[in-house]
């Protein structure tokens, strides 16, 4: 399974995965022109797009993706919040698997201040499994035999507290972060609770511009997992 990071962070998120047969976008939270450029203007090679929730940094180009004739798979709540409909909008339900080409996808519910946010467990025909989870402060599920993990690591509680004390971040922001985004500390707890025996790589995505430390996060997750860690 090939993973391509097109954009990650609060200014926009978009990723592409493919297995040689099927190509999927995960999120489309940047301008369609940037997506086209990243794909060498081969947008027609994309079989579908998965959207986790309606916030603009994850869905900005949704209408343009639909116009391009690409199916979008998301929850009913997300589709309603985006105000999008039509035969290219494919509504899926939590814990009900579906297939796109050679991929089988299992949506699962996450915890975020959005209408009906999802994470996705994506498996290819060779048995490799990718977990994609972003914009959540908690994941109640455990997963077996994961091969790749793409997970939000938005902030560190220690860095956030230091920034609040220094007056660089408003204290009211802390409550929203604690109830909507994954911290380094929570990522560690999640990884410890899951089967990492087959993991080939971990991608830390959606890092905060102000409340994260990419090198520190990479170092600590590598020490915990013993696998390659990439900062998206």
E strand residue ranges, 14-162: 14-18, 23-26, 48-50, 71-74, 89-91, 98-100, 103-109, 118-123, 129-133, 148-152
Confidence at 27, pLDDT banded by 50, 70, 90 = very high
Angle at 32 between CA 66 and CA 177, to 5 degrees: 95
Helix (H, G, I), strand (E, B) or coil at 146: coil
Please name the helix (run of DSSP H) or strand (run of DSSP E) that holds residue 76, with its range, or none.
Answer: helix 76-82
119 vs 168, higher pLDDT: 119
- Cβ 201 vs Cβ 227: under 8 Å: yes
State the average pLDDT over residues 101-111.
97
Predicted confidence at residue 173, as pLDDT, reads 73
For the chain, the domains span 2-231
Predicted confidence at residue 168, as pLDDT, reads 81
- Cβ 47 vs Cβ 18: under 8 Å: no
In the CATH hierarchy, which fold is given to the domain comprising 2-231?
Metallo-beta-lactamase; Chain A (3.60.15)
pTM confidence score: 0.94
CA distance 140 to 5: 26
CA distance 18 to 59: 20
Give the model confidence (pLDDT) of 38-56 as tens digits. Answer: 999 999 999 999 999 999 9
Confidence at 169, pLDDT banded by 50, 70, 90 = confident
Contacts of 60 (CB under 8 A, 6+ apart): 12, 28, 29, 30, 31
CA distance 135 to 31: 20
* CA proximity to 150, closest of 168, 170, 169, 136: 136
CA distance 65 to 46: 10
């Amino acid at each position: 399974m090939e993973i391509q990071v097109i954009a990650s962070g609060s200014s926009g998120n978009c990723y592409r995965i493919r297995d040689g047969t099927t190509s999927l976008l995960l999120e489309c939270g940047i301008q369609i022109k940037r997506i086209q450029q990243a794909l060498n203007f081969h947008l027609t090679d994309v079989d579908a797009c998965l959207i986790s929730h309606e916030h603009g940094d994850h869905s900005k180009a949704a209408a343009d993706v639909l116009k391009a004739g690409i199916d979008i798979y998301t929850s009913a709540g997300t589709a309603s919040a985006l105000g999008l409909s039509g035969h290219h909008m494919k509504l899926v339900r939590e814990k009900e698997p579906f297939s796109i080409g050679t991929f089988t996808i299992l949506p699962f519910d996450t915890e975020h201040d959005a209408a009906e946010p999802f994470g996705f467990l994506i498996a290819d025909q060779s048995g490799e499994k990718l977990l994609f989870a972003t914009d959540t402060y908690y994941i109640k599920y455990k997963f077996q035999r994961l091969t790749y993990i793409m997970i939000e690591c938005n902030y560190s509680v220690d860095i956030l507290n230091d920034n609040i004390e220094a007056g660089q971040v408003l204290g009211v922001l802390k409550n929203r972060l604690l109830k909507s985004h994954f911290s380094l500390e929570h990522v560690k707890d999640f990884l410890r609770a899951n089967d990492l025996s087959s993991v080939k790589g971990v991608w830390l995505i959606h890092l905060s511009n102000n409340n994260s430390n990419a090198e520190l996060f990479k170092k600590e997750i590598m020490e915990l997992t013993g696998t390659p860690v990439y900062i998206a």
